[in-house]
Amino acid sequence: MRERSFWGWGYADRYPDAAGRDNVAQLVEATLGFAPTARLDAPSLDAVALRAPRFEAPAALADVVDQGAEARIRHTYGRAYRDVVRGFHRDFAVAPDAVATPRDEADVRRILDFAADARVAVVPYGGGSSVVGGVECAGEGHAGVLSLDLGALNGVLEVSHIDRLARIQAGALGPALEAGLKAHGLTLRHFPQSFEHSTLGGWIATRAGGHFATLYTHIDDLVASVRMLTPAGLYATRTLPGSGAGPSPDRLALGSEGALGVITEAVVRVRPRPTFRAQASLHFARFEDAVEAAREIAQAGLYPSNCRLLDAREAALNAVTADGSSVLIVAFESADHPLAPWLERAVELGRGRGGVVQGSLTYREGEAARGEGSAEAWRSAFIDAPYLQSILVGLGIMADTFETACPWSRFGELHAALVHDVRDAMKRVAGRGTLTCRFTHVYPDGPAPYYTFLCPTRPGSELSQWAEIKAAASEALLKHGATITHHHAVGRTHRPWYQRQVPEAFQAALRAAKVALDPAGILNPGVLV
Amino acid sequence: MRERSFWGWGYADRYPDAAGRDNVAQLVEATLGFAPTARLDAPSLDAVALRAPRFEAPAALADVVDQGAEARIRHTYGRAYRDVVRGFHRDFAVAPDAVATPRDEADVRRILDFAADARVAVVPYGGGSSVVGGVECAGEGHAGVLSLDLGALNGVLEVSHIDRLARIQAGALGPALEAGLKAHGLTLRHFPQSFEHSTLGGWIATRAGGHFATLYTHIDDLVASVRMLTPAGLYATRTLPGSGAGPSPDRLALGSEGALGVITEAVVRVRPRPTFRAQASLHFARFEDAVEAAREIAQAGLYPSNCRLLDAREAALNAVTADGSSVLIVAFESADHPLAPWLERAVELGRGRGGVVQGSLTYREGEAARGEGSAEAWRSAFIDAPYLQSILVGLGIMADTFETACPWSRFGELHAALVHDVRDAMKRVAGRGTLTCRFTHVYPDGPAPYYTFLCPTRPGSELSQWAEIKAAASEALLKHGATITHHHAVGRTHRPWYQRQVPEAFQAALRAAKVALDPAGILNPGVLV
């Protein structure tokens, strides 16, 4: 089995050798205009020092619990910038005291019972790809921390073609889940950037967003029912296409971030793999015009699979164009019908705002639409992007992202504030920096803008530099009516702003719900409530 | 102002005179094959006897509270079959003790404070159109019951064209809300059958379904934020196109049925009024083929505004066709683009299952698509339908509906069971009866079937006859994996089955949330928790 990095994104063998890192360094300097501040080799797992476990797991759990150093190190962090920095520097001070790997729900139940009795904090762990401190738990006030790795619960259990439903275990990683569905000619079509290293259960717990721009792309809309083990009992909803019976039980599990229960499986809405694709790329001299075009397409009832706006810097960084244009990529896909009327109307709207089509409108059909071609290439590049962040840490460069959503009318002001405040913060802490923007999703009532910031760091000061930039961004989001997160979740990182965003009365209700489901307060303490 | 009936559906002047009722009686006998068992005149409000109020409202609330008989009578019931029967027979034993009509949130707050101190139950009241006992409260364990009528909070407060958002007060009835939006060229496009006599707040509290078949038709998807006054404080969410920040606070308010707070306003997603419409009607010799056609259209990614399947009896009762065919009406609408490719593909799918197009595909554009024509005629007939139920009560005929949703693969068995069990129950309690079926909504993973049952009653036994039929239907729904309600809500009528449908762990969480928001337990006691 291919080994995953214990400190950085994804597979260990993707961290380049010294020559490869030199290439990246040169590319960075040419693109961003500032030089790497370091040239560090990757850390070694053997060199990590861990404290002794704060509790000893009982013999009765020996079959599912591992208290060895490697398991504990590998379950300490998600893959936020600050996780990678700490991992790189072998700081695993908050490592859990034990890692459990249940093989079935009975194992999960045994572990929860032990933890409730022993007051051990339990952190449900899927792919470990959280970028918001979702799986990092110090365990204050608890006898210790147990990371509950759902990785062995990873089967595609049932598939119904007629219902377009599949029952899948929560620990299934993206590729395994899609492979299981592909055997049936189906796809969940949920591709978050973490796809390779995140799980169905993690997607549900964090309300993950897929990479499609409209309609059924959020995991929220793809869940037909959920099974969640709570300390207070089984929380299993009925598989339904729709129900108006009280507040939705599924929607309370969605976004619960491991604080209400351990999601063990879900029935999800799947679909045939597309056999028609249509795509066009429009360039705009002015970013504002591209935004208006994206808005009009989002409001036209066409429902493109992609409506991805890249600002000029984002387009340049992604080698799409370096001529200062903003780029709008519009695409449609279907397993049912050719898409020319859809794409032509979207392009017409884009042209109406001054967009110029690059090349021609492209259409693909049949097998050609299924897996090859530019859509897959783009998705693959998209899914590979997080590797770069880890490489840059070794070069002393901070690269991180934040994302949000807001009504269209607030975007201009929000964007200007973010550009000002985040650049200002980067200048303060790093002397300089780059901020880019794209839209990941568009709704009739607003866009979901996604920002990437890059700046040089001072060795040893990375975390404080990062915290100042992150706070500047988060404050601007809150101030301008946006959300602290559109699809990255709350975790521990966003919690201060989350508490200001969400009504206190709702937080009181959520706290009460948590006490009902988790009376001993053992589940992922520190997130949400 | 046009007077509403105090016992039956809608406006009082819509109850026909004796000659008009004779016409209906003849029509019923010709259509259903059984004769009316009664010819009753409408009851008079003056003849209703009420008990004395159980509490006296304090002088400080005299400006907003009415304890007169008429107000109390008019706020006793919703408009379920059993409500109309009891109203017709002047049984208002469960009348509330007072009716409050707040003019603003400060009034609502004053009323809630009084009620919490006095342990008076508070029933939020919108249009009073509940068909599940949502506003009928006996007040056991309380000092009495106060009906909180939001009717004076009915303004369209703000409209944003660019965001396609409107801030609207919860007490706005459908027609007033649409009139306010029409002035801006916009529509909420949410048309539940209760449209004329239900409110935005009621739609949110009950998770109402609109009459469109796919996509943005449920009020759930149209709510961008909500303001709800709870005894524990204001619950006001942020207006966002999307957010992944923890479990959705909006989704806890949606479906809360007045048990968690008093919804005072919401920001909703609106859209331009359509300028393109396309429609076709397909007839099928076999119901099963029509179901398959509906499924394939629902799964094709075309998103019709209408995909309404009528079984042969439903088609005959609605005078669509009497030749034994099942009918599938497929329609599209847009404010942006002509719809021929959409309709043609849907028709092609229908033909593939043996459907025969009746007449031609119809297209309308511009003003003609805006308000006239068959779509409006159909909507108007749809919205008028509940009047018939009230008229039939006076003729001794029971007419009621129930609705559900289930995965496609379960529909055949569910439908057979319902046909068997409900007909059997009607035969037992009434000697005979008719059951019809249509689909109101279709999803990729299943339909939302809607059933109407009609049978003669024995004077004085209507409620027990009804209860036996309703129980037979509800048991079949639960047994075959369907939901007890897709869009009628839970109220008091569906509660026993709701409690079996929803996981106990979720109910425990909901109870805890209620205690947090409503510590004195005054809000609509008896629903949900």
Find chain B residues with C-beta within 8 A of A484's C-beta: 245
SS (HEC) of B30-68: HHHCCCCCCCCCCCCHHHCCCCCCCCCCCHHHCCCEECC
Please tell me whether residues B254 and B303 are part of one structural domain.
no
Could you read off the pLDDT tens digit of each residue along chain B, which spans 529 residues? 799 999 999 999 999 999 999 999 998 898 888 888 888 899 999 999 999 999 999 999 999 999 999 999 999 999 999 999 999 999 999 999 999 999 999 999 999 999 999 999 999 999 999 999 999 999 999 999 999 999 999 999 999 999 999 999 999 999 999 999 999 999 999 999 999 999 999 999 999 999 899 999 999 999 999 999 999 999 999 999 999 999 999 999 999 999 999 999 999 999 999 999 999 999 999 999 999 999 999 999 999 999 999 999 999 888 888 899 999 999 999 999 999 999 999 999 999 999 999 999 999 998 777 665 555 666 677 778 899 999 999 999 999 999 999 999 999 999 999 999 999 999 999 999 999 999 999 999 999 999 999 999 999 999 999 999 999 999 999 999 999 999 999 999 999 999 999 999 999 999 999 999 999 999 999 999 9
The answer to whether B396 and B36 have CB atoms below 8 angstroms apart is yes
Tell me whether residue A45 is in a domain.
no
SS (HEC) of A323-364: CCCEEEEEEEEECCCCCHHHHHHHHHHHHHCCCEEEEEEEEE
Q: Is A354 left (phi over 0), alpha (psi -120 to 50) or beta?
A: left
For residues A30 and A468, give the distance between their C-alpha atoms in angstroms, rounded to a whole number: 26
- Among B272, B295, B327, the domain-final residue is B272
The three-state secondary structure class of A478 is helix
Please tell me whether residues B266 and B281 are part of one structural domain.
no
Tell me whether residue B182 is in a domain.
yes
| A17, containing H or E segment | none
CA distance, residue A301 to nearest chain B CA (Å): 7
Find chain B residues with C-beta within 8 A of A228's C-beta: 505
Q: What is the pLDDT of residues A419-476, one digit of tens each?
A: 999 999 999 999 999 999 999 999 999 999 999 999 999 999 999 999 999 999 999 9
Tell me whether residue B294 is in a domain.
yes
Give which of B109, B223, B248 to mutate to test A binding, by max A Cβ within 10 Å: B248
Find chain A residues with C-beta within 8 A of B163's C-beta: 407-409, 445-446
SS (HEC) of B189-245: CCCCCCHHHCEHHHHHHHCCECCCCCCCCEHHHHEEEEEEEECCEEEECCCCCCCCC
Structure-token pair, residue A293: 């075009």
Please tell me whether residues A247 and A177 are part of one structural domain.
yes
- B21-49: string of b/e by CB count within 10 Å (b at 16+)? beebbeebeeebebebebeeebbebeebe
The three-state secondary structure class of B401 is strand
Tell me whether residue A296 is in a domain.
yes
Give which of A337, A344, A450, A507 to mutate to test B binding, by max B Cβ within 10 Å: A337
The answer to whether A412 and A463 have CB atoms below 8 angstroms apart is no
Q: What is the CATH number of the domain that holds A307?
A: 3.30.70.3450
The answer to whether A301 and B339 have CB atoms below 8 angstroms apart is no
Q: Which residue of A has its CA nearest to B483?
A: A243
Please tell me whether residues B165 and B178 are part of one structural domain.
yes
Q: Which residue of A has its CA nearest to B229?
A: A505
CA distance, residue B333 to nearest chain A CA (Å): 9
To 10 degrees, what angle do helices A504-517 and B504-517 make? 140
Please tell me whether residues A199 and A230 are part of one structural domain.
yes
Edge to edge, what strands does the sheet with A446-456 contain?
A356-365, A276-284, A326-334, A306-310, A434-443, A446-456, A397-403
Beta-carbon separation of B208 and A244 below 8 A: yes
Tell me whether residue B331 is in a domain.
yes
**Percent of chain A scored above 90 by pLDDT?**
91
Beta-carbon separation of B241 and A448 below 8 A: yes
Burial of B510 (0-12, 13-18, 19+ CB in 10 A): buried
SS (HEC) of A407-475: CHHHHHHHHHHHHHHHHHHHHHHHCCCEEEEEEEEEECCEEEEEEEEEEECCCCCHHHHHHHHHHHHHH
Please tell me whether residues B161 and B266 are part of one structural domain.
yes
N-to-C CA span, chain A: 38
Full-model pTM: 0.97
Residue with the two structure tokens 């952190």: A123
pLDDT computed for residue A370 by the predictor: 67
Beta-carbon separation of B341 and A341 below 8 A: yes
pLDDT computed for residue A375 by the predictor: 58
Beta-carbon separation of B239 and A336 below 8 A: no
Beta-carbon separation of B244 and A443 below 8 A: no
Structure-token pair, residue A269: 């809405």
CA distance, residue A166 to nearest chain B CA (Å): 11
Beta-carbon separation of A445 and B241 below 8 A: yes
Please tell me whether residues A195 and A296 are part of one structural domain.
no
Residue with the two structure tokens 């990941």: A440
For residues A101 and A150, give the distance between their C-alpha atoms in angstroms, rounded to a whole number: 6
pLDDT computed for residue B37 by the predictor: 87
Tell me whether residue A453 is in a domain.
no
Q: DSSP strand E in A223-354: where?
A: 223-230, 233-236, 262-269, 271-272, 276-284, 306-310, 326-334
Find chain B residues with C-beta within 8 A of A244's C-beta: 206-209, 218, 255, 483, 485-489
Beta-carbon separation of A162 and B295 below 8 A: yes
Find chain A residues with C-beta within 8 A of B164's C-beta: 299, 444-445
Q: Which residue of A has its CA nearest to B205?
A: A246
Please tell me whether residues B312 and B203 are part of one structural domain.
no
Quote the domain boundaries for residue B254: 154-272
- Among A351, A370, A389, the domain-final residue is A370
For residues B4 and B1, give the distance between their C-alpha atoms in angstroms, rounded to a whole number: 9
CA dihedral B197, B213, B83, B258 (to 10 degrees): -70
Q: Which residues pair with B271 in a beta bridge?
A: B187
For residues A233 and A116, give the distance between their C-alpha atoms in angstroms, rounded to a whole number: 13
**Antiparallel, parallel or unpaired: β A165-169 and A156-160:** antiparallel
Please tell me whether residues B294 and B361 are part of one structural domain.
yes
Beta-carbon separation of A407 and B481 below 8 A: no
Kindly report the average pLDDT of chain A as a whole number.
95
Radius of gyration for the alpha carbons in chain A, expressed in angstroms and rounded: 23
Beta-carbon separation of B345 and A337 below 8 A: yes
Beta-carbon separation of A271 and B302 below 8 A: no
Give which of B190, B238, B275, B413 to mutate to test A binding, by max A Cβ within 10 Å: B238
Q: What is the pLDDT of residues A19-44, one digit of tens each?
A: 999 999 998 898 888 888 888 889 99
pLDDT computed for residue B375 by the predictor: 58
Tell me whether residue A490 is in a domain.
no
The answer to whether B443 and B304 have CB atoms below 8 angstroms apart is no
The three-state secondary structure class of A98 is strand
- At residue A503, does pLDDT exceed 80? yes
What is the CB neighbour count within 10 angstroms for residue A367?
9
Among A469, A457, A386, CA closest to A424: A469
DSSP state of A46: G
The answer to whether A249 and A126 have CB atoms below 8 angstroms apart is no
Q: Which residue of B has its CA nearest to A504?
A: B235
DSSP state of B371: S
Q: What is the pLDDT of residues A334-383, one digit of tens each?
A: 999 999 999 999 999 999 999 999 999 999 998 777 664 555 666 677 77
Beta-carbon separation of A252 and B253 below 8 A: no
CA distance, residue A21 to nearest chain B CA (Å): 35
Beta-carbon separation of B510 and A303 below 8 A: no
Inter-chain Cβ pairs, chain A and chain B, closer than 8 A: 298
Tell me whether residue B280 is in a domain.
yes
Q: Which residue of B has its CA nearest to A258?
A: B246
CA distance, residue A510 to nearest chain B CA (Å): 7
pLDDT computed for residue A28 by the predictor: 87
Task: Count H helices and E strands in chain B, helices first.
Answer: 17, 18
Which of A14-18, A184-188, A518-522, B81-85 is predicted with the least confidence, judged by mean pLDDT? A14-18
Please tell me whether residues B233 and B169 are part of one structural domain.
yes
DSSP state of A41: P
N-to-C CA span, chain B: 38
The answer to whether A281 and A427 have CB atoms below 8 angstroms apart is no
What is the CB neighbour count within 10 angstroms for residue B381?
11
Q: Which residue of A has its CA nearest to B209?
A: A244
Residues 6 or more apart whose CB falls under 8 angstroms from that of A106 comprise none
Please tell me whether residues B252 and B201 are part of one structural domain.
yes
Please tell me whether residues A254 and A318 are part of one structural domain.
no
Range A504-520 average pLDDT: 98
pLDDT computed for residue B380 by the predictor: 75
Q: What's the gap between Cα B76 and its chain centre?
A: 18
For residues A100 and A124, give the distance between their C-alpha atoms in angstroms, rounded to a whole number: 10
Give which of A105, A109, A163 to mutate to test B binding, by max B Cβ within 10 Å: A163
DSSP state of A256: -
pLDDT computed for residue B436 by the predictor: 96
Partner residue facing B505 (CB), from A233, A487, A506: A233
- A99-136: string of b/e by CB count within 10 Å (b at 16+)? bbbbeebebbbbbbebbbebebbbbbbbbbbbbbbbbb
Beta-carbon separation of B162 and A232 below 8 A: no
Among A151, A145, A119, A144, CA closest to A231: A119
Among B321, B302, B303, CA closest to B312: B321
| B442, containing H or E segment | strand B434-443
What is the total count of domains within chain A? 2
For residues B152 and B154, give the distance between their C-alpha atoms in angstroms, rounded to a whole number: 6
Among A345, A336, A289, A330, CA closest to A312: A289
What is the CB neighbour count within 10 angstroms for residue B338?
16
The answer to whether A470 and B218 have CB atoms below 8 angstroms apart is no
Q: What is the CATH number of the domain that holds A156?
A: 3.30.465.10
- Among B225, B243, B272, the domain-final residue is B272
Residues 6 or more apart whose CB falls under 8 angstroms from that of B6 comprise B12, B45, B48, B70, B73, B74, B87
